[in-house]
Structures are given as C-alpha cells and as structure tokens.
Amino acid sequence: MSEQQGTLTAEFIAQQRTRLLALRQELLGGEEKTIAGERAAEELHGDEAEELEDEAQGMAQNEVNQALHDVNDQRISDIERALQKIAEGTYGLSDVSGEPIPKARLEVAPEAIMTVEEQSRRETGQ
C-alpha cells in the first residue's frame, strides 16, 4: 500500500466512489437533456422561416454545445478511470507520475487522476 493510500481511508474512498457514480450520472443526464431540448426547439420552430441572425446564433450555440460536450466527454472518461483506480486500489495516485494526488484535490475533484501540474500540462497540450 502506498503512502497516499494510507492517508485515504476506506470510508473516504467509498464516499468518493459514490460521488463519482452520481457525477457520471449527472453528466450523462445533462447530455440527454441538451439533445432533447434541441429536438424540442426544432420541432416547435422547425417550420418557421429562419433569419440570418437566427442561423448565426444557432451556429454559435452549436460551437458552445460542442465545446461543453468535449469537456464533458473528457470528464466522463476521467470519472471512469477514477472508478477503475478505486477497483484497482490505486485511487489517489497520478496516472502520469504515480505521485500522490493531494486529498484536498480529490475532495474538490473526485475524478482527478493527475496532479494539478500534470492536469495543467494536459490541458495546454504540453
């Protein structure tokens, strides 16, 4: 057992697992609501003549939705990996360096699979 695992109690890890499962469901449910909302709006306004401003606004909204979808996809992937790490007994250790992830970070982001520095490098593509 690693030093980090020694500081993470079985109770803490069980709580994190519960949080991760709820977070995954929330994110997956949010995706379904977005798609359903887009369909409902299309059904409601589908026959109306679109103006150029409406089309531009729709394109901008699609870009925002795609960016959110990409972020959610990555977050869901991290949640799945964190759940896998719990099952493996390596939760709380970085996938990149194997270094302990501070408990305070795990409390804020239970899906954290890297240290803050490693996550920052991933996000900036370094």
Q: How confident is the model at residue 1 (pLDDT cuts 50, 70, 90)?
A: very low
Token digits of residue 113: 């699979």
Per the structure block, which two tokens stand in for 19?
A: 């949080």
Residue pLDDT, tens place only, 68-113 = 666 688 899 999 999 999 999 999 999 999 999 999 999 999 999 9
pLDDT tens-digit map of 13-59: 999 999 999 999 998 886 555 555 556 666 665 555 556 667 767 67
- As a whole number of angstroms, the longest Cα–Cα distance in the chain is 65
Domains delineated in the chain: 3-124 (1.20.120.910)
3-state DSSP assignment of residue 100: strand
Contact call for residues 28 and 76 (beta carbons, < 8 A): yes
Helices and strands counted in the chain (H then E) = 5, 0
User: Do the Cβ atoms of 114 and 25 come closer than 8 Å?
Assistant: no
Angle at 101 (CA atoms; ends 74, 5), nearest 5 degrees: 115
- Residue with token string 């390596």: 90
Task: Write down the H helix ranges in the chain.
Answer: 3-7, 10-45, 52-88, 103-108, 116-124
